[in-house]
Amino acid sequence: MVLNNSKMRMPLLASLNPLVHALVHRLLLAVLLLWGVSLLIFIAVNFLPGDYAATALGKTATPETIASVRHSLGLDRPLITRYISWSLQILQGDFGHSWAGQQDVGKQLWHRLGNSLWLAGCSALLAIPLAIIGGLLAVRYLHRLPDRIITLISLVALSLPEFFIGYLLIMTLVVHAGISTFPSTIYDGMSLSDRLAAMLLPVLTLTIAVLANMLRSARSALMSVTQSPWMETAKLKGLPPLRILWRHALPNAIAPVLTVVAMNLAALIVGAMIVEVIFVYPGVGQYMVDAVTVRDIPVVQACGLVFAAIYILFNLLVDILMMLANPRMRLPR
């Protein structure tokens, strides 16, 4: 019995080894990429025009006072020394203290990241079902009026930038209709209904911004599946068209759709900066823009690193989903 069990385990381990190897390889690449991005962020932030000491002290500050503040902040140290010190702090979970607000950057960052995740999550809950339903309708009525309307709407939405969509919604829903409020104020202890009402405009803006790409990808994936020979067999059997799409086409097209969805979720969080600034939403993007204005380097570095980590994490998630859906991607190239 022991020999039989060991023989049964061998094929299972043999089938899992390529997947485990591929996952470890992707994970190591993600860590290496995050390190490279952290280096680029540090260099780019420290070469921003302007100086925090001169900005904080004003035009009347003497060179000696500016030099004293720069020394207290460690800005007179070599760049490589500052990067090593910052990297060691990050590895310990310490994002430092804000120069402008004298607050712990980590606490402020995670609090605002929760607001940004709320915003991205609500937008995803609207965009993903609409994209799948719209793709199904477009393929069901291919080259007919519903398909042309959906294609036209997606093209228009794809060509509009987030700030234009935001200002258009403000003019429509706030100025003329009076349905929503502006700005989108979020605070601790706020009830769920009030929070959702305050998030209406930024959620709609992000949903419209990402829906077009999701919709086009869902339509393209479903079209490629419906042209397969086994789909023709299902049609010849006399199955209803909607059942064919829902029960047979959608499960086989879900891998590329999930890839686009995961990539757009990363874009929702990272690209929400413009939307947060427009609607004065207290997320990570607004936090970063405020820090750039006053040259608060620890905050800018921390926000940039968090954005990069989120984007890399979602790319890693896409790779994992693709490897699970397509066994050929587990093999080394």
pLDDT (tens digit, 9 = 90+) per residue, 169-208? 888 888 877 776 666 667 666 777 777 777 888 888 888 8
CATH topology of domain 105-330: MetI-like fold (1.10.3720)
CB 309 within 8 A of CB 34: yes
Residue 128 to residue 132: CA distance in whole angstroms: 6
CB 30 within 8 A of CB 313: yes
251-266 as b/e, with b when 16 or more CB fall inside 10 Å? ebbbebbbbbbbbbbb
Percent of the chain scored above 70 by pLDDT?
A: 80
Which one-letter amino acid corresponds to residue 127? A
Of 261, 262, 267, nearest in space to 119 by CA:
267
pTM of structure: 0.76
Which one-letter amino acid corresponds to residue 152? L
Average pLDDT over residues 2-19: 51
Confidence of residue 165 (pLDDT cuts 50, 70, 90): confident
Q: Is 191 exposed, middle or buried (0-12, 13-18, 19+ CB in 10 A)?
A: exposed
Q: CB-side exposure of 131: number of CA atoms within 13 Å?
A: 28
Cis previous bond, 63, omega within 30:
no
76-80, 170-174, 175-179, 244-248: lowest mean pLDDT where? Answer: 244-248
CB 248 within 8 A of CB 231: yes
Statement: residue 154 has pLDDT above 90: no
Residue 57 to residue 53: CA distance in whole angstroms: 6
